[in-house]
Amino acid sequence: MKVYIDKCEDYEESYEKAKELLKKCNFKVKGKKVLLKPNLVTGSSSQSGITSDVSLARAILDKLDDCEVTVGNDFDYFRDLGYDKLEKEYNCKVVSFDKLPKKDIIEVKVPNPFKFDKIPIARDALEADYIVSLAKLKIHGLCQVTMSLKNMFGCVPTRKHRIRIHPSIRIALLDILQIKYPNFGLIDGVIGNQMDEVASNPINHGILLASKDCLGLDVVGTRCMGIHEEEIEFLKRAMKFYKFKEEKIEVIGEQVENVMKPYDRRKGLSTHLRYLKEQAVAKYVELFKV
């Protein structure tokens, strides 16, 4: 499994740097139904460390040949972050999974449940032939880290469904991935985020990572944050479930030891309070089936 790392110091050069990186990965998709899933959890810019920069989405879209493309995300921050312009530029569909009608929310049985027997998935994700996870290099208050695999949680539509699943995400992520697993991952680590996934604590990291093996990609991304993958509960579970062999990782380009920057993993008070509230709401939703 090959994981590629290139340096990219700022977003003025990120489009060209991403195109070079995708070329090294031999990334090109033709004639498929593609879902491009960015990480747009707030309307804060990529400079905040929270969201995937739209320049990287453009680099990916440039490599799609005769594809039916959906740019899909749970929250509707497309206009805030310039993703709405992609619709005309690339003749693609831009969709908020939080605004789907009921007919486009599909309950799917999980083959080997870890937490949930069924998971609701957006039809656009379920019917995609090829999924590109455009992730962000971030610490996550609940899931510990968030990169290409955790980004797939955004394929669960509506806040009601996500609030029920999210408190168990370290386990439930394996349920989601059994239904839809990304075919390719590109991680925006130009500016990463520490401590939290929605509160800005940016770190200038200056890297882009990419791979056709998203589990290997996230393992390497975790190491780039100064964290061993065995410390991350969902990665540890995923490595066991997918029979991941660490020795098969081949890092191409910049090496981890040369680009590693330790991320602050401490949770702030706002993070603790947010998750206490979320857990209470999740129990209410589950108890009363609202």
pLDDT tens-digit map of 72-89? 999 999 999 999 999 999
- Count of domains observed in the chain: 1
* 89, 243 contact by CB (below 8 A): no
pLDDT at 289 exceeding the cut of 90: no
By the 10 Å C-beta count (0-12 exposed, 13-18 middle, 19+ buried), 268 is classed as middle
Domain with residue 54: its CATH number is 3.40.50
Distance in Å from the first CA to the final CA of the chain: 43
Q: Which domain does 25 fall in, by range? A: 2-288
pLDDT at 283 exceeding the cut of 80: no
pTM: 0.96
- List pLDDT tens digits, range 222-253: 999 999 999 999 999 999 999 998 888 999 99
The mean per-residue pLDDT over the stretch 135-142 comes to 97
